[in-house]
Structure 1
Protein backbone atom coordinates (compact mmCIF):
# COMPACT_ATOMS: atom_id res chain seq x y z
CA UNK A 1 0.00 0.00 0.00
CA UNK A 2 2.87 2.36 0.82
CA UNK A 3 4.40 1.69 -2.60
CA UNK A 4 1.11 2.51 -4.32
CA UNK A 5 0.75 5.81 -2.48
CA UNK A 6 4.39 6.71 -3.09
CA UNK A 7 4.12 5.81 -6.78
CA UNK A 8 0.99 7.92 -7.14
CA UNK A 9 2.68 10.88 -5.48
CA UNK A 10 5.69 10.59 -7.79
CA UNK A 11 3.46 10.33 -10.88
CA UNK A 12 1.42 13.36 -9.90
CA UNK A 13 4.55 15.33 -9.11
CA UNK A 14 6.06 14.46 -12.48
CA UNK A 15 2.91 15.67 -14.26
CA UNK A 16 3.35 19.06 -12.64
CA UNK A 17 7.02 19.22 -13.64
CA UNK A 18 6.29 18.10 -17.20
CA UNK A 19 3.48 20.62 -17.53
CA UNK A 20 5.82 23.44 -16.46
CA UNK A 21 8.45 22.27 -18.94
CA UNK A 22 6.00 22.07 -21.86
CA UNK A 23 4.59 25.55 -21.25
CA UNK A 24 7.91 27.41 -21.22
CA UNK A 25 8.99 26.57 -24.84
CA UNK A 26 5.57 27.56 -26.19
CA UNK A 27 5.79 30.97 -24.54
CA UNK A 28 9.27 31.52 -25.99
CA UNK A 29 8.09 30.54 -29.47
CA UNK A 30 5.21 33.02 -29.32
CA UNK A 31 7.51 35.80 -28.12
CA UNK A 32 9.98 35.13 -30.94
CA UNK A 33 7.27 35.11 -33.58
CA UNK A 34 5.74 38.34 -32.31
CA UNK A 35 9.08 40.12 -32.15
CA UNK A 36 9.85 39.58 -35.84
CA UNK A 37 6.65 38.86 -37.80
CA UNK A 38 8.02 40.25 -41.07
CA UNK A 39 11.02 37.91 -41.08
CA UNK A 40 10.65 34.55 -42.75
CA UNK A 41 12.71 31.60 -41.62
CA UNK A 42 14.97 29.87 -44.10
CA UNK A 43 13.76 26.42 -45.28
CA UNK A 44 16.56 24.72 -43.32
CA UNK A 45 15.26 26.31 -40.11
CA UNK A 46 11.67 25.22 -40.81
CA UNK A 47 12.48 21.53 -41.18
CA UNK A 48 13.30 20.86 -37.49
CA UNK A 49 10.22 22.79 -36.39
CA UNK A 50 8.01 20.62 -38.61
CA UNK A 51 9.49 17.46 -37.06
CA UNK A 52 8.73 18.77 -33.55
CA UNK A 53 5.12 19.74 -34.34
CA UNK A 54 2.63 17.28 -32.91
CA UNK A 55 -0.44 16.25 -34.90
CA UNK A 56 -3.41 14.83 -33.02
CA UNK A 57 -4.31 11.23 -33.77
CA UNK A 58 -7.03 8.87 -32.58
CA UNK A 59 -6.26 6.93 -29.41
CA UNK A 60 -6.65 3.70 -31.40
CA UNK A 61 -3.78 4.77 -33.68
CA UNK A 62 -1.26 4.78 -30.83
CA UNK A 63 1.16 1.84 -31.25
CA UNK A 64 0.62 -1.15 -28.97
CA UNK A 65 4.11 -0.72 -27.48
CA UNK A 66 3.26 2.81 -26.31
CA UNK A 67 -0.14 1.73 -24.94
CA UNK A 68 1.45 -1.18 -23.05
CA UNK A 69 4.16 1.08 -21.61
CA UNK A 70 1.46 3.47 -20.38
CA UNK A 71 -0.54 0.63 -18.77
CA UNK A 72 2.58 -0.77 -17.15
CA UNK A 73 3.88 2.54 -15.78
CA UNK A 74 0.51 4.10 -14.90
CA UNK A 75 -2.21 1.43 -14.58
CA UNK A 76 -4.88 3.94 -13.49
CA UNK A 77 -4.12 6.49 -16.22
CA UNK A 78 -6.82 7.48 -18.68
CA UNK A 79 -5.61 8.49 -22.14
CA UNK A 80 -7.44 11.69 -23.13
CA UNK A 81 -5.54 12.66 -26.30
CA UNK A 82 -2.66 11.40 -28.37
CA UNK A 83 -0.45 13.24 -30.84
CA UNK A 84 2.56 12.29 -32.96
CA UNK A 85 5.35 14.29 -34.59
CA UNK A 86 7.58 13.63 -37.60
CA UNK A 87 10.13 11.76 -35.45
CA UNK A 88 7.43 9.22 -34.44
CA UNK A 89 7.42 10.59 -30.88
CA UNK A 90 4.06 10.39 -29.17
CA UNK A 91 2.58 12.97 -26.82
CA UNK A 92 0.04 11.39 -24.50
CA UNK A 93 -2.28 13.63 -22.51
CA UNK A 94 -3.38 11.51 -19.58
CA UNK A 95 -5.42 11.83 -16.42
CA UNK A 96 -4.61 10.03 -13.17
CA UNK A 97 -7.20 10.67 -10.49
CA UNK A 98 -7.86 14.40 -10.58
CA UNK A 99 -4.46 15.34 -12.05
CA UNK A 100 -3.76 15.78 -15.76
CA UNK A 101 -0.47 15.92 -17.62
CA UNK A 102 1.45 15.02 -20.76
CA UNK A 103 3.83 12.12 -21.24
CA UNK A 104 6.15 11.56 -24.19
CA UNK A 105 7.23 8.22 -25.65
CA UNK A 106 8.90 6.97 -28.80
CA UNK A 107 7.26 4.42 -31.08
CA UNK A 108 8.86 1.56 -29.11
CA UNK A 109 7.26 2.65 -25.83
CA UNK A 110 10.39 4.18 -24.28
CA UNK A 111 9.70 7.31 -22.22
CA UNK A 112 11.19 10.61 -23.41
CA UNK A 113 12.04 13.56 -21.14
CA UNK A 114 10.76 16.86 -22.59
Structure 2
Protein backbone atom coordinates (compact mmCIF):
# COMPACT_ATOMS: atom_id res chain seq x y z
CA UNK A 1 0.00 0.00 0.00
CA UNK A 2 2.88 2.35 0.80
CA UNK A 3 4.30 1.73 -2.68
CA UNK A 4 0.97 2.70 -4.28
CA UNK A 5 0.77 5.98 -2.31
CA UNK A 6 4.43 6.72 -3.05
CA UNK A 7 3.93 6.05 -6.79
CA UNK A 8 0.87 8.29 -6.86
CA UNK A 9 2.74 11.16 -5.21
CA UNK A 10 5.67 10.79 -7.62
CA UNK A 11 3.31 10.78 -10.60
CA UNK A 12 1.54 13.90 -9.36
CA UNK A 13 4.83 15.74 -8.76
CA UNK A 14 6.10 14.73 -12.20
CA UNK A 15 2.96 16.01 -13.96
CA UNK A 16 2.90 19.34 -12.11
CA UNK A 17 6.57 20.00 -12.81
CA UNK A 18 5.82 20.03 -16.55
CA UNK A 19 2.92 22.43 -16.04
CA UNK A 20 5.24 25.13 -14.68
CA UNK A 21 7.29 25.60 -17.83
CA UNK A 22 7.87 29.27 -18.60
CA UNK A 23 6.69 30.34 -22.01
CA UNK A 24 9.20 32.35 -24.05
CA UNK A 25 8.54 36.03 -24.61
CA UNK A 26 7.67 37.15 -28.09
CA UNK A 27 10.11 39.45 -29.78
CA UNK A 28 8.60 41.65 -32.42
CA UNK A 29 10.95 43.38 -34.83
CA UNK A 30 8.41 44.92 -37.17
CA UNK A 31 8.53 48.53 -38.24
CA UNK A 32 5.16 50.22 -38.11
CA UNK A 33 4.26 53.37 -39.94
CA UNK A 34 1.71 55.47 -38.13
CA UNK A 35 -0.29 57.94 -40.11
CA UNK A 36 -1.81 60.75 -38.10
CA UNK A 37 -5.21 61.94 -39.22
CA UNK A 38 -4.57 65.65 -38.59
CA UNK A 39 -4.05 66.65 -42.21
CA UNK A 40 -4.29 70.24 -43.36
CA UNK A 41 -4.92 71.12 -46.98
CA UNK A 42 -1.97 72.54 -48.90
CA UNK A 43 -1.51 73.68 -52.47
CA UNK A 44 -0.57 70.96 -54.96
CA UNK A 45 2.36 73.14 -56.00
CA UNK A 46 3.73 72.89 -52.43
CA UNK A 47 4.22 69.11 -52.70
CA UNK A 48 7.81 67.86 -52.63
CA UNK A 49 9.26 66.79 -55.97
CA UNK A 50 9.68 63.23 -54.66
CA UNK A 51 5.93 62.95 -54.05
CA UNK A 52 4.89 64.36 -57.43
CA UNK A 53 7.47 62.12 -59.14
CA UNK A 54 6.08 59.06 -57.35
CA UNK A 55 2.56 59.92 -58.51
CA UNK A 56 3.76 60.43 -62.10
CA UNK A 57 5.65 57.13 -62.04
CA UNK A 58 2.99 54.94 -60.40
CA UNK A 59 -0.14 56.69 -61.66
CA UNK A 60 0.81 58.18 -65.05
CA UNK A 61 -2.79 59.10 -65.98
CA UNK A 62 -3.62 60.59 -62.57
CA UNK A 63 -4.21 64.20 -61.69
CA UNK A 64 -3.68 65.41 -58.11
CA UNK A 65 -6.94 67.14 -57.17
CA UNK A 66 -6.13 67.99 -53.55
CA UNK A 67 -3.15 67.62 -51.27
CA UNK A 68 -2.97 67.52 -47.49
CA UNK A 69 -0.01 67.47 -45.09
CA UNK A 70 0.31 66.53 -41.42
CA UNK A 71 2.88 67.48 -38.77
CA UNK A 72 5.11 64.48 -39.54
CA UNK A 73 5.50 65.40 -43.24
CA UNK A 74 3.12 62.74 -44.49
CA UNK A 75 0.91 63.59 -47.43
CA UNK A 76 -2.66 62.64 -48.26
CA UNK A 77 -3.36 62.96 -51.98
CA UNK A 78 -6.74 62.85 -53.68
CA UNK A 79 -6.19 61.60 -57.23
CA UNK A 80 -8.49 61.32 -60.22
CA UNK A 81 -7.74 59.16 -63.25
CA UNK A 82 -8.63 59.77 -66.88
CA UNK A 83 -11.31 57.07 -66.78
CA UNK A 84 -13.22 59.00 -64.11
CA UNK A 85 -12.22 56.94 -61.08
CA UNK A 86 -10.75 58.63 -58.05
CA UNK A 87 -9.01 57.60 -54.89
CA UNK A 88 -6.85 58.64 -51.99
CA UNK A 89 -3.22 57.66 -51.48
CA UNK A 90 -0.75 58.47 -48.70
CA UNK A 91 2.96 59.16 -49.08
CA UNK A 92 5.86 60.37 -46.99
CA UNK A 93 8.16 63.26 -47.94
CA UNK A 94 10.54 60.91 -49.81
CA UNK A 95 7.75 59.68 -52.11
CA UNK A 96 7.30 56.29 -50.40
CA UNK A 97 3.71 55.02 -50.31
CA UNK A 98 2.08 54.51 -46.93
CA UNK A 99 -0.63 51.87 -46.57
CA UNK A 100 -3.68 52.68 -44.54
TM over 0.5: yes
How big is each residue's C-alpha offset from its partner over 1:67-104, in whole Å with a ceiling of 9 and x where there is no partner? 00000000000110000011110000000121111000
Which contiguous aligned blocks of 4+ residues in structure 1 show a shift greater than 2 angstroms? Answer: none
How big is each residue's C-alpha offset from its partner over 1:18-71, in whole Å with a ceiling of 9 and x where there is no partner? xxxxxxxxxxxxxxxxxxxxxxxxxxxxxxxxx530000000000000000000
Structure 2's unaligned 5+ residue stretches are: 1-35
Q: Which has the higher contact order (CA 8 A, sep 6+)?
A: 1
For these two proteins, the number of residue pairs brought into alignment is 64
TM score, norm. by length of structure 1? 0.55
Partner of 1:72: 57
Distance in 1, matches of 2:54 and 2:47, equals 11
Alignment of 1:1-114 (within 5 A): 51-96=36-81, 97-114=83-100
Structure (1/2) with the larger helix percentage: 1
Q: CA RMSD in A?
A: 0.8
- DSSP-derived class of the 2:67 partner: strand
Q: Which has the larger radius of gyration?
A: 2
Distance in 1, matches of 2:74 and 2:91, equals 6
Structure 1's unaligned 5+ residue stretches are: 1-50
TM score, norm. by length of structure 2? 0.62
